Amino acid sequence: MQDYRHMTNEAIRVGLSNNASSLKKLSLLTYKQLKKYSIPSVYKLCAISKAVGILASRRKSIRRGHLTKDPYMKKPILVSCYSFKIVNGRLCFPLGEKQFEFIPLNKHTLRMLEDQSLKVRSFLLTETSLSLCIAKEVSELNDLTGAIGIDRNLRNLCVGNQESVTFYDMSKVVGIGETTKEVIKSFKRNDVRIRKRIFSKYGERKSERVKRIHHIISKNVVENALEKKKAIVFADIKNIGSMYRKGNGKGKDYRRQMNNHWHYGEIKRQIEYKAQWSGVPIIHLTKSETRGTSSNCYICGERLLSSTEETKKRQLWCKKCEKWFDRDLVAVMNISRRGWLRFSQSKGIGREAMVSEHERRDEPLIRIVDPMKLSSESKKGG
């Protein structure tokens, strides 16, 4: 693993000095210099590939205007996508000079690999862990019956369409962030090294707890979409963080909550990869298609008016329909409809995206779900 780290760092240095970032160019410049390392050549190719990825990440940061130092690999690892196999429940890979290393796999990994549709593509070995990269052929659902929209908010995730809407309570994520902040503030040690170690410990603890909640919610969303044969629609909110910067009329505590505790990118990432693994199509609305999803009435299309009353802070009023609507409900209805309309038009079945006047007037079934209770119920059922 140390040799792999040294080879990667040497390839990075060659790439920086010769302004080489493509795999072909870096391989031609570096491969002969790596002959001094007495390890199988397959690891040399993987080290060059790893260096190309690091250099590409650096180039992307520079393009975005972020100043970066010269990168290097700090920890010893071993990555390979060649010359390894799984034999008798153990991972076998060559060390050179006809020597092999055997690492036993745990029961969960072996149970997963019993699925014949899964193929192990590569492995990553560190001083404390082993990770396997697996792949499988997935065919997308063809007989879709509609789409469900997803509206991401600080304290809830709203998922649904005209048939039903589910509110997933995510206020516990905000509570975890606030608790972690108070715990970290309570430490008064004046040693920078100790503070850094403690902050890192509680930061990782917070991250793992939040990821667990996101995992429960995203798994339930994808399972429901697969069962009902629905596509999943996401709105474009990439630059929404600019709304909560200093000077925009928002309080300091409000900005801190929105910027530190709103993990809208993480929940999207988890839903996306689980949907792709299950064959559920993902539809991404453009910025223009997203505009007005939370401010236009999903029944008549009129511009909605916000309330000045504290009790109706997230309620919107439609003059034409003469009804109050929940802001998140309006957003998820518009997102699901616009996403299904675009998907249907691309497939040449635009007629199916139309909604009758009777269906528009029907109230959707609304459910409120606590992800933590959902987790405990699934454990009991298992």
What's the pLDDT score for residue 348?
60
**Is residue 73 situated within a structural domain?**
yes
Residues 27 and 63 reside in one and the same domain: yes
How would you label 292-308 residue by residue, b for 16+ Cβ within 10 Å and e otherwise? Answer: ebbbbbbbeeeebeeee
What's the pLDDT score for residue 231?
93
Quick one: how many helices (H) and strands (E) in the chain? 12, 15
| Domain range for 310 | 146-381
What's the pLDDT score for residue 142?
81
Q: How far apart are CA 224 and CA 211, in angstroms?
A: 20
How many structural domains comprise the chain? Answer: 3
Residues 256 and 194 reside in one and the same domain: yes
Q: How far apart are CA 377 and CA 277, in angstroms?
A: 24
Q: How far apart are CA 252 and CA 284, in angstroms?
A: 32
Give one DSSP letter per residue of 232-294, joined into a string. EEE---TTGGGGGSTTSS--HHHHHHHHHS--HHHHHHHHHHHHHHHT--EEE--HHHHTTTT
What's the pLDDT score for residue 304?
87
Nearest Cα to 323, choosing from 344, 333, 60?
A: 333
Residues 184 and 239 reside in one and the same domain: yes
Strands of 85-87's sheet in order across:
85-87, 90-96, 99-104
Residues 242 and 264 reside in one and the same domain: yes
Residue whose tokens read 């999903």: 298
**Is residue 175 situated within a structural domain?**
yes
Residues 297 and 168 reside in one and the same domain: yes
**Is residue 208 situated within a structural domain?**
yes
> Which residues, at least 6 apart from 262, have a Cβ–Cβ distance to it below 8 Å?
152, 153, 154
pLDDT in tens, the chain (382 residues): 999 999 999 999 999 999 888 899 999 999 889 988 988 989 999 999 999 999 999 998 998 888 888 899 999 999 999 989 999 999 999 998 888 999 999 999 999 899 888 999 999 999 999 999 998 888 888 888 899 999 998 889 999 998 899 999 999 998 998 899 888 888 887 888 888 888 899 999 999 999 999 999 999 999 999 999 999 999 988 877 666 667 666 677 767 777 777 888 899 999 999 999 999 999 999 988 888 888 899 888 889 888 767 667 788 888 888 888 888 999 999 999 999 988 887 766 544 444 444 444 457 788 888 887 776 555 444 4
pTM listed for this prediction = 0.78
What's the pLDDT score for residue 364?
79
What's the pLDDT score for residue 7?
94
**Is residue 301 situated within a structural domain?**
yes
What's the pLDDT score for residue 376?
52
Residues 26 and 172 reside in one and the same domain: no
Chain-centre distance of CA 60, in angstroms?
19
What's the pLDDT score for residue 110?
92
Residues 168 and 50 reside in one and the same domain: no
**Is residue 127 situated within a structural domain?**
yes
What's the pLDDT score for residue 121?
92
Residues 217 and 329 reside in one and the same domain: yes
**Is residue 89 situated within a structural domain?**
yes
Q: Which residues pair with 40 in a beta bridge?
A: none
**Is residue 181 situated within a structural domain?**
yes
Residues 37 and 111 reside in one and the same domain: no
**Is residue 141 situated within a structural domain?**
no
Residues 189 and 269 reside in one and the same domain: yes
Residues 251 and 294 reside in one and the same domain: yes
Residues 72 and 90 reside in one and the same domain: no
Eight-state DSSP code of residue 82: S
